[in-house]
A and B are shown apart, each in its own frame.
Chain A
Amino acid sequence: MKGSKAKKSKNVLPGFGLSMGFTIAYLSLIVLIPLAGVFVKTTGLSWNEFWAVITNPRVIASYRISFTTSVLAALTNLVFGLLVAWVLVRYRFPGKKIIDSLVDLPFALPTAVAGIALTAIYAPNGWVGSLLEPLGLKVAYTQLGITIALIFIGIPFVVRTVQPVLQDFEKDTEEAAVMLGAYRWRTFWKVIFPELLPALLTGFTLAFARGIGEYGSVVFISGNMPMKTEIAPLLIMTKLEQFDYKGATAIALVMLIISFLLLLLINFMQWRISRRTIAE
Chain B
Amino acid sequence: MANHPTKKVKTDGESAQTMQSLLAKAIQPEYQWSDKDEFLDVVYWMRQIMGLVLGLVWGFIPMRGFIGLALFFVVNVAIVYLYYSSFQKVDEEEYGGASEILKEGLMTSFSSFLVAWIILYSALYS
Q: Do A and B come from one complex?
A: no
Residues on B lying within 8 angstroms of A by beta carbon are none
